[in-house]
Structure 1
Amino acid sequence: MTHHNERRLRNIWAVLIAIVLSGMAVMAVWGGTALVTAALLVLAVIKCRLVAMDFMGLRQAPAGLLFGLLAWPVTLALLAVAKLAMSMVLSV
């Protein structure tokens, strides 16, 4: 690991910590509303991307592998948003 890569990983680690803390703060302040849940899902997808590309070292991976690794959390987040939307519509 070069000095540049070590610094980059430290910066990404700091960004990941900031994302987690901001998600916790948003949840503590505004609670479990639908908008907050959707925002937390977006943050989760961003965290997945950062971990896959930087900590797993897949920034130069083949496009198919990278697409598959990033499509999985996006698909799960979209399914969670769809479930959230359906529960909101059906509860009215």
Structure 2
Amino acid sequence: MTHHNERRLRKTFATLVLLVACGMILMTLWGGTAAATAALLVLAVIKCRLVALDFMGLAQAPAGLRFGLLAWPAILALLALAKLAMGVTLSA
């Protein structure tokens, strides 16, 4: 591991810790509201991207592999948002 890569990994790790802290604060302040859940899903997709590209070292991987690894959490988050939207709509 070169010095440059180590510095990049440290920055990525600090970003991940910050995103986790933001999620914890978000849940503490706004609990289980629909907006907080949607924001947590967005944070989760961002964290998946950081882990897949930086920690797993897939930034230089073939485009199809990168697309698949990043599309999977995005699709799951969109499905969760659709379920959330249906629940909010039906309960109103």
Structure 1 position 29 matched with structure 2 position 29: yes
Question: Which 4+ runs in 1 deviate beyond 4 A?
Answer: none
- How far apart are the structure 1 equivalents of 2:52 and 2:75? 16
Match of 1:78 in 2: 78
Task: Report Cα offsets for 1:12-66 as digits up to 9, x if no partner.
Answer: 0000000000100011011111011000000000000000000000000110000
Give the TM-score of the pair, scaled to structure 1.
0.98
Structure 1 position 5 matched with structure 2 position 5: yes
Percent of aligned positions with the same letter in both sequences?
73
Structure 1: where are the runs of 5+ without partners?
none
- How far apart are the structure 1 equivalents of 2:29 and 2:35? 13
The letter for the 1-side match of 2:79 is L
Matching of residues 8-87 of structure 1 within 5 Å: 8-87=8-87
Give the TM-score of the pair, scaled to structure 2.
0.98
Aligned CA RMSD, in angstroms, stands at 0.5
- How far apart are the structure 2 equivalents of 1:34 and 1:91? 12
- How far apart are the structure 2 equivalents of 1:39 and 1:82? 14
Structure 2: where are the runs of 5+ without partners?
none
